[in-house]
Amino acid sequence: MAWVMGASFFGSFGALFLKIGAGKIQRSFASLLTNWRLMLGISFYLFSSVLFVFGVRKGELSVLYPMVALGSVWTLLWSKLILGEPLTRPKLVALGMILCGMTLIGLGAR
């Protein structure tokens, strides 16, 4: 379970760098390849999928897959801390619900 949670952590950095990189996209294919932020974002995603595969080897998919939702919690955090997006009440409510749901699933794990 720790591996899958780790995967969601690194995956959220993937989203962060894709977002930062996407703001700098130009109209040429070569510029996509030299956009280091995009490439870093994709690398984070790839690394996160290796961790996910590693983590999902053992244990129940019905418990491990929902842990991916933790990624949205990290992403909300980076959006606030690094991108300066406002952390509104609906976002906080959603964050609490996702964490509650994950705790419940953890309780239901064998």
Partner 1 sequence: MSTSSVSSTNHQQRRSFLLVVCCTIIGAAAQVLIKKGASALGANPTMLQTALAMVLTPALFAGYSMYGISTILLVLALRHGQLSLLYPVFAMTYVWVTILSVVVFHESMNPYKLAGIVTIVAGIAVLGREQPA
d(CA 31, CA 22): 11
Letters for 29-68 (x = contact with partner 1 by CB under 8 A, - = none) are --------------------xx-xxx-xxx-xxxx-xx--
Tokens of 61: 């998919």
Tokens of 31: 């510029």
d(CA 50, CA 3): 10
Letters for 70-99 (x = contact with partner 1 by CB under 8 A, - = none) are --x---x-----------x-xx-xxxxxx-
Residues that bind partner 1 (CB under 8 A): 49-50, 52-54, 56-58, 60-63, 65-66, 69, 72, 76, 88, 90-91, 93-98, 100-110
